[in-house]
Amino acid sequence: MKKILIIEDEEPIRTALEDDFRLENYEVITATDGLEGLSKGSEPDIDLIILDIMLPGMDGFEVCKKLRNSGVKTPVIMLTAKGQEIDRVLGLEIGADDYITKPFSPRELQARVKAVLRRMEPETDENLGIIFRSGSLEVDFRQYVCLKDGREISLTAHEFELLKYLISNRGHVVRRNELLDDVWGKDVFVTPHTIDTHMANLRKKIENDPSNPRFIISIRGIGYKFIGE
Ligand code: CA
């Protein structure tokens, strides 16, 4: 059973979410202010955190930043109000994984939670498939071979790992900070600019028209999304 922490001071919203997630067979714990949220959010057995921004004590931005700065990687979905700075929420500064704008439907939030939890599952050959084909592109993950229009193209190790990561998250936005952590690893010094450079090189190799990409789409200020069945 997945364990969810809901950090929300507004009692009716908190209780409604708690009930909804229990009904969907999640284990639920709650916190009613920023400090309590920070302390419970640091516990290692939490699978996902739902974090409101407007909280007494310490706001949701601070809670998320502090969790990330202390090395907590638990996925965070933020409850935002219209007009809040989404780029900042999802960017390196705050480090949330997704957000949902109030008011939202329980069903919509459930779907986000499921999607984020699925992204966190380790990649295996079974869920990725050994060979990926879409349009002119074919990638063999076991042999580390990439073909475009049937011809082998040469990718660097990082380009191949990037491509693999994008394909295994296809249809979802992948944030630059995720790529930094998951493709390069925490202890290597890489900037978001490095990622953009590698992505540009990768596009030159796999796209027919890199300035009008078909596979790797840029999501401005956030990251990238791979499109392909
Ligand atoms: Ca609130």
**Model pLDDT, residue 92:** 67
**Model pLDDT, residue 43:** 94
**Model pLDDT, residue 124:** 55
Say how many Å lie between the CA of residue 130 and the centre of ligand 1. 45
Say how many Å lie between the CA of residue 206 and the centre of ligand 1. 45
Say how many Å lie between the CA of residue 8 and the centre of ligand 1. 5
Alpha helices in the chain (DSSP H): 11-23, 34-41, 60-69, 86-90, 106-120, 125-128, 157-168, 176-179, 192-206
Say how many Å lie between the CA of residue 170 and the centre of ligand 1. 33
Say how many Å lie between the CA of residue 92 and the centre of ligand 1. 23
Read off the tokens for 42: 């640091």
Round the average pLDDT of the chain to a whole number and report it: 88
Say how many Å lie between the CA of residue 9 and the centre of ligand 1. 5
**Model pLDDT, residue 183:** 83
Residues 157 and 93: their CA atoms lie apart, in Å, by: 28
Domains of the chain as residue ranges with CATH? 3-119 (3.40.50.2300), 131-226 (1.10.10.10)
Say how many Å lie between the CA of residue 34 and the centre of ligand 1. 10
**Model pLDDT, residue 63:** 97
Q: Which residues of the chain have pLDDT under 70?
A: 92, 122-129, 186-187
Say how many Å lie between the CA of residue 10 and the centre of ligand 1. 5
Say how many Å lie between the CA of residue 79 and the centre of ligand 1. 9
- Tell me the CA distances in angstroms from 120 to 10, 12, 111, 140, one per residue in order: 28, 29, 14, 23
Beta carbons within 8 Å of 111's beta carbon, 6+ residues apart: none
Say how many Å lie between the CA of residue 104 and the centre of ligand 1. 14
The answer to whether 33 touches 41, Cβ cutoff 8 Å, is no
Say how many Å lie between the CA of residue 50 and the centre of ligand 1. 12
Read off the tokens for 5: 């922490």
**Model pLDDT, residue 133:** 86
